[in-house]
Homo-oligomer: A and B are copies of this chain.
Amino acid sequence: MTAEIDWIAADWGTTNLRLWAMSGRDVIERRSSDQGMGVLGPDEFAAVLEQATTGWPAVPVIASGMVGSRQGWIEAPYAAVPCPATPQMVAVPDDPGGRPVRIICGIRQDNPADVMRGEETQIAGLLSLSPDFDGIVCLPGTHTKWVRVSAKEICNFKSLMTGELFALIAGQSVLRHSLSGQECDQDAFLGAVSDAMARPERGYGGLFQLRAEALLTGLDPAVARGRLSGTLIGWEMAAAKPWWLGCEVTIIGAPALSSLYEQALKAQGVPAALMSVEDATLAGLYAAYQQFKSS
């Protein structure tokens, strides 16, 4: 007996579209493509969704991410903090492809200015799986978020560009020649985190040195990668200190990246719990689907 697909979960970001055919909480089938918001005009989303879900039934679609930005399918306006962690949604008009489509609203903070789109869904998922969670959520990624959650509300948050900066520097700067491969030396990483937290300006002065050491003494690329990654995450740890100091932290992100943040926090005596980003996303989209059904 095959479980029946009764809704579709969508994580539609700037660069990727991830889709799950769902039966209640269970994943029946996964699909993904590079048809992210960034490469689509406003008129193209309906056809892309139609094609990407070929063979799946005409059931409701719950989407989160940049698909709801001004440059996306339709703008799902930001909710302002403090706000309930329960997702808010807007409807795409006319049920494209015969499917009701709902897009989850992002969240904004006015002072200091900050925005998120997509992470609010993972936080809703965390609260759905751990209803009593109270503390800090760290969501490492292109624009890492540190989010304070209390009494089922998102209180405030801070974004840092660590992931995007690492990708730009490692992939496109002169350091790209010195960082080949994907390995990251752990000792070099932790040393650089500690140095960058203690003396951020020294880490800045050490960036070009990675290139020079590679040229002059054949620096191991895994050590160079560890030092670059540790420098950026060390700066982030210093900037986000009020968020993690003396707090309980749950990290929601890709496994390798989450592990780096976990190690950096552990070195500061802060234990962190890890949650799978897929689990959190699907739990958040499911919570939104439940809300949609009961509305």
Contact = CB atoms under 8 A, between A and B. Distances in A.
A174 B164 contact: yes
Given A204-B238, A205-B240, A239-B204, A212 B159 contact: yes
Nearest to A115: B212
Nearest to A202: B239
Contacts of A241: 201
A208 B165 CA distance: 11
Contacts of A215: 113, 115
Interface of A is mostly: helix
Interface in A64-99: none
A274 interface: no
Contacts of A47: none
B173 A164 contact: yes
B208 A114 contact: yes
A216 interface: yes
Contact of A208 (B160, B207, B212): B160
Interface of A: 108-110, 112-115, 143, 158-161, 164-165, 168-169, 172-175, 200-202, 204-205, 207-209, 211-213, 215-217, 235-236, 238-241
Contacts of A209: 112-114, 159
Chain multiplicity (copies)? 2
A208 B173 contact: no
A201 B113 contact: no
B204 A160 contact: yes
Contacts of A207: 160-161
B108 A201 contact: no
A158 to B, nearest CB: 7
16 contacts: A110-B216, A112-B209, A113-B209, A113-B213, A143-B174, A143-B208, A159-B208, A161-B174, A161-B175, A161-B207, A168-B168, A168-B169, A200-B201, A201-B238, A201-B241, A204-B238
